[in-house]
Amino acid sequence: MFVKTTSRLAIIAAAGVMVAAPAFAQSRTNIQIAGSSTVLPFASIVAEEFGQMFPEFETPVVASGGSSGGLRQFCAGVGPETIDIANASRPIRGSEIEACAAAGVSDIREIRIGYDGIVFASAAEGPEFVLEPQFVYQAIAANLPEGTEQPTLWSDIDPSLPEQPIMMAIPASNHGTREVFEEKVVFPGCEAVMGEDVDHEVCGELRQDNVIEIAGDYTETLARLSSDANTVGVFGLSFYEQNTDTLRVATMSGVTPSLETVASGEYPVSRPLFFYVKGEHIGVIPGIEEYVQFFLSDAMAGAGGRLEEAGMIPAPAEETAEVLENFTNGVTVSQ
């Protein structure tokens, strides 16, 4: 529970937000948010605390659906039937900005809230995994060097790995986690195995016999691990830290993921977290600017704040101040 030691005036003491001209008549009184399953628990905490701190506004409604799914809803148009904010564990793509513009959404404001790491975890009672990007690629890749047999056990890849059947539960393409998983693990691993000039389309083709793609949130991945102790799942660090009683985390390139190693950049599989605000809804749907300022307040997103307690790695204070200033000044994303 958030302790109200910070006054509302202190939280929203920044200069007034530039309000877009109303594009539609108000017919909805609560903020609606959807998107990344990684950002979901953080946004849910902020929404609950916001509803308590600002009783004149309704508590925002926060749903999941993955980064791509949330941005698809966000870019569907302007009006009360479309969401106001999209949570994302990756930056918005140029193609999504184009889709937004085609539907009349041109005032897209990017809010970078902090950082998260992507971890590989297995059953707590299982063996230890000491992973490298090339090990993960060899385990799940459809394409290996000519004459190389696809491994059945992890120990077929490297004798340091467990003598355990290979089974991985990875995020489906609707998740921002999948993009980071590919860019930080699969593609570097592929280049190490196949050569630096390999086509990334070749790298991205995965086996069908030992890879489970999870379209739902991390609870579905956790359920897979619960039903099959051989499964290694891909999670956000914050979700892992909420489930350390049932999960055992792997090292990657010799580094154990933690708040400290992600914040320092030592852990190689990390990423910034975002949400995107539909500027056309500011001044029409009540409370959007107050929600943004509350989310970025020290009490929520700052060092020692409520979201750090929940597992998010806070951004440096000067970075957050710049994000809030850009939002206040109506700065929009561009391709």
pLDDT, tens digit (0-9, with 9 covering 90-100), for 136-171: 999 999 999 999 999 999 999 999 999 999 999 999
The CA distance from 198 to 191, in Å, is: 6
Percent of the chain with pLDDT over 70: 92
Instruction: With beta carbons less than 8 A apart as the criterion, state whether 119 and 126 touch.
Output: no
Q: Quick one: tokens of 108? A: 């897209």
Report whether pLDDT(14) > 60. Answer: no
Q: Please, how many CA atoms are within 13 Å of residue 333, restricted to the half-sphere of its CB?
A: 23
Percent of the chain with pLDDT over 90: 76
- Compute the CA torsion angle 276, 282, 284, 289 (nearest 10 deg): 100
Exposed/middle/buried for 237, CB within 10 Å: 0-12, 13-18, 19+?
Answer: buried
The CA distance from 194 to 323, in Å, is: 40
pTM: 0.71
61-120 per-position pLDDT tens digit: 999 999 999 999 999 999 999 999 999 999 999 999 999 999 999 999 999 999 988 999
* Among the listed residues 273, 219, 218, 278, the one whose alpha carbon sits nearest the alpha carbon of residue 32: 278
Distances (CA, A) of 291 to 11, 154, 288: 10, 46, 5
Which residues have CB under 8 Å from 322's CB, separation 6+? none
119-136 per-position pLDDT tens digit: 999 999 999 999 999 999
The whole-number pLDDT of residue 179 equals 82
- Compute the CA torsion angle 14, 19, 24, 26 (nearest 10 deg): 30
* Among the listed residues 59, 80, 83, 81, the one whose alpha carbon sits nearest the alpha carbon of residue 69: 83
Q: Quick one: tokens of 222? A: 């956790």
Report whether pLDDT(17) > 60. Answer: no
Could you tell me where the beta strands, DSSP code E, fall in the chain?
32-35, 61-65, 85-88, 108-123, 130-131, 168-171, 211-214, 232-236, 247-249, 251-252, 270-278, 313-314
Instruction: With beta carbons less than 8 A apart as the criterion, state whether 236 and 218 touch.
Output: yes
Pick the CATH number of 30-115+271-328 from 3.10.20.340, 3.40.190.10, 3.90.180.10, 1.20.120.1200: 3.40.190.10
**How is the chain split into domains, by residue range?**
30-115+271-328, 117-270
- The residue written with tokens 């600002």 in the block is 54
The whole-number pLDDT of residue 15 equals 40
40-66 per-position pLDDT tens digit: 999 999 999 999 999 999 999 999 999
- The length of the chain, given as a count of residues: 335
- The residue written with tokens 């979901």 in the block is 40
Q: What are phi and psi of 226, to 5 degrees?
A: -70, -35
Q: Where does 117-270 sit in CATH, by number? A: 3.40.190.10
Report whether pLDDT(248) > 80. Answer: yes
The CA distance from 178 to 36, in Å, is: 11
Find the radius of gyration of the CA atoms of the chain.
21
Q: Quick one: tokens of 234? A: 């891909």
Q: Which long-range contacts (CB under 8 A, 24 or more apart) does 213-216 make?
A: 213/170, 213/171, 213/172, 213/173, 214/169, 214/170, 214/171, 214/172, 214/175, 215/66, 215/172, 215/174, 215/175, 216/37, 216/64
Report whether pLDDT(18) > 50. Answer: no
Q: Do domains 30-115+271-328 and 117-270 have the same CATH topology?
A: yes
* Among the listed residues 282, 275, 332, 302, the one whose alpha carbon sits nearest the alpha carbon of residue 17: 282
Report whether pLDDT(6) > 70. Answer: no
> Please, what is the average pLDDT of the chain?
91
The CA distance from 311 to 291, in Å, is: 20
The CA distance from 301 to 297, in Å, is: 6
Report whether pLDDT(207) > 90. Answer: yes
For residue 299, what pLDDT band results from cuts at 50, 70 and 90?
very high
